Amino acid sequence: MSEVLKEPAELASGIEWKKSWLGYVPALLAIGGSILLVIMRWQMGGAHFISDGALMMLALACYLTAATFHLMNLYAPSEMAQKVGLWTTTAGVFFNLSSWGVRWLAAHDRELAILQRSGYGPEQMPWFFRYIPFANLYDLSLAFAFGAGITTLFIAHRKNFRFLGAITLPLASLILLLARFIGNEFIELPPILDSYWRPIHVGVASLSYGVALVCFAVAVIYLLKDGIKTEAMAIWSSLFAIAVIATVSRFSVFTSFAYGASTFMQTPSGGRRPVPLRVEIPMVGPVLVISGLLLAGVIILFLVYLYKKNEQACVWGHRLLKLALVAQASAIALLVSQVKTITDVLPRLQEQLARDPIGYQRLGQWIAEQQGLKPAELAQVPVDRLEMAAREFLQMNGAKLTLSTNANPVELSALITAFAATLFVILFSFRTDKLRAALPSKEKLDSLMYKTGSVAFAGLAMLLITGAVWANESWGRYWGWDSKETGALVAWLTYAAFLHTRISRGWKGRSSAYFAIIGFLLVIFTYLGVSYLLPGLHSYA
């Protein structure tokens, strides 16, 4: 009798085990399919094979499509939306990883071509660690987005958590969009950085960043489930958007009503080289100012609503928020369209420099730096010589200057991110109660946040360790308080505080969610801030 009673339990256990493993099939298919595609590229060569850039764009399209279906499933649950969202996510991860793998082979082909032009044979080819694609921010962005996508896919084997793609995949799409603006040109790394620790360190970093992104998404969803008002979210997203508008325009939108788009110069070898000159783009500045004013109105009205319980202020706040979304979209569209169509770059530059002669001095300093002058030597160069060098440079290269969104990708990506934050707040404000009901329980979300936060903490610890070993090999010291090192340490300490307060103090729920959000923001600052905002040894990327 006892044996008979055991049989159903054993059968149920086997079924659960089988279901558990079947849930990982999409992730395994994405990784296995990518390996097969890279092998095909290796066998067929690159002449008639899809490029890594095209694969990246396919990944971007799949992530956006999957996010749309996941979001639809939250508001109108259906088996079809779940399946399409899951398998489109799988396709996105497949294309994402394939893009990185094909780029690896493209880097190999490039190294081989350079050797052949120099008169060397294939036997002189450096080992594969030399050209593994972890050299610049484009490569890191591909791996970052893949880390977010594969983490989402591993979690999505449980139906209760498939909604996660509605938040994580748009964020992964923004990272791929940044990569698109950066451009997929290869760069020459300094020989001192040629170490097998480079791909190990950067690979750990990118996957850890991806897990941190998922933890951030879970924290935001937890706050929504916990009943935080969407109006409070709108206040924070509006503050973020105002900061972006002010920062990316370097406050010029509040003075000359212009957004500066940097220029590229065509080089004799056929490549492109960024030049530190900013051209005023008509109408973008005024529209950004309107966006900022609308968002400021949103903040004021929602504060009145939250503290005074004024329902009329709430209604008008939501109206202004929607108008701000339209204004932000218009500014981005105006910027991108005009960067593509403006051709008279030199006359515009000369007109601006006539109003701001110090621009010649800044350009002259950049030219001197390109010629190898050190800061101490540059300080001794007379201002008139710098200006003369700048004028000669424009006379010789003015016809080669073109506008490009690739020249300042972080600025444009920041504007798009601010737009996305506003859009998501508006979406969360639509039928919020039904949305909260469709989400898993707070306990499950809190548990998932804890698990992903723990993995992010461990990953960032490995990042610091491998980075220190690589730094010792390259620069002869384990730690030098470089800006990126410091940023990574602060981010890791934030996740350490996330775990410490949870384990020793019993902080859960909202407190942990706030820690997870702050930790991810510090990760993003480390990821982008050093390369484009702060000088340091990592600025080569």
- Summarised one tens digit per residue, pLDDT across range 45-99 is 877 888 888 999 999 999 999 999 988 888 888 888 888 988 999 999 999 999 9
**pLDDT beyond 60 at 263:** no
Are residues 488 and 526 in contact, defined by beta-carbon separation less than 8 angstroms?
yes
107 compared with 537, residue with greater pLDDT: 107
Question: How large a percentage of the chain has pLDDT more than 90?
Answer: 27
Q: For residues 264 and 274, is the Cβ–Cβ distance under 8 A?
A: yes
Q: Among all chains, which residue has been given the structure tokens 């799949």?
A: 62
Answer yes or no: is pLDDT of 251 > 60: no
Q: What does the pLDDT read at residue 182?
A: 79
- Give the model's pLDDT for residue 527: 81
More confident residue, 400 or 495: 495
Q: What is the pLDDT of residue 13?
A: 47
User: DSSP state, 131?
Assistant: T
- Domain residue spans in the chain? 25-188, 229-431
Question: What rounded mean pLDDT belongs to the chain?
Answer: 81
What single string gives the DSSP state of each residue in 73-100?
Answer: HHHS--HHHHHHHHHHHHHHHHHHHHHH
Do residues 385 and 364 make contact, with C-beta atoms less than 8 angstroms apart? yes
Would you say 361 and 387 are in contact if contact means Cβ atoms under 8 Å apart? yes
Note the pLDDT tens digit of each residue in 327-354: 999 998 988 888 888 877 778 877 777 7
Q: Please state the rounded mean pLDDT for residues 401-428.
A: 83
- Which of 164, 175, 178 has its CA nearest to residue 215? 164
Q: How confident is the model at residue 5 (pLDDT cuts 50, 70, 90)?
A: very low
Q: Nearest CA to 479 among 534, 537, 529?
A: 537
At residue 483, the pLDDT reads 74
Report the pLDDT value the prediction gives residue 123, as an integer from 0 to 100: 58
Average pLDDT (281-302) is 90
Q: Is the pLDDT of residue 205 over 80?
A: yes
Average pLDDT estimate for 32-55: 88
Residue 491 class from Cβ within 10 Å (0-12 exposed, 13-18 middle, 19+ buried)?
Answer: buried
Give dist(CA 130, CA 213) in Å, integer: 29
End-to-end CA distance of the chain: 69
Give the confidence band of 8 by pLDDT, cuts at 50, 70, 90.
low
Determine the 3-state secondary structure of 261 from DSSP.
strand
Using a cut of 0.95, tell me whether the model's pTM lies above it: no
Q: What is the pLDDT of residue 190?
A: 67
Q: What pLDDT, on the 0 to 100 scale, is given for residue 271?
A: 55
Cβ 157 vs Cβ 191: under 8 Å? no
pLDDT band at residue 317 using 50, 70 and 90 as cut-offs: very high
Could you give the percent of the chain with pLDDT greater than 70?
Answer: 85
Closest CA to 232 of 409, 425, 66, 72: 425
HSE-up of residue 291 (Cα within 13 Å, Cβ side): 30
CA 237 to chain centroid? 17
pLDDT band at 122 (very low <50, low <70, confident <90, very high): low
Distances (CA, A) of 348 to 51, 352, 395: 36, 6, 14
Q: What is the pLDDT at residue 56?
A: 93
| 279 contacts 263 by C-beta, under 8 angstroms | yes
CB of 368 closer than 8 Å to CB of 386: yes
According to CATH, the topology of domain 229-431 is Butyryl-CoA Dehydrogenase, subunit A; domain 3 (1.20.140)
User: Could you report the per-residue pLDDT of 208-246, keeping only the tens digit for each?
Assistant: 999 999 999 999 999 988 888 889 999 999 999 998 888
Longest Cα–Cα distance in the chain = 101
Residue 200 near residue 491, CB atoms below 8 Å: no
pLDDT band at 255 (very low <50, low <70, confident <90, very high): very low
Lowest-confidence range among 83-92, 198-207, 388-397?
388-397
Please report, for residues 7, 68, 96, 228, 322, the alpha-carbon distance to residue 166 in angstroms, rounded to integers and kept in the order given: 41, 7, 18, 19, 20
Average pLDDT over residues 184-198: 73
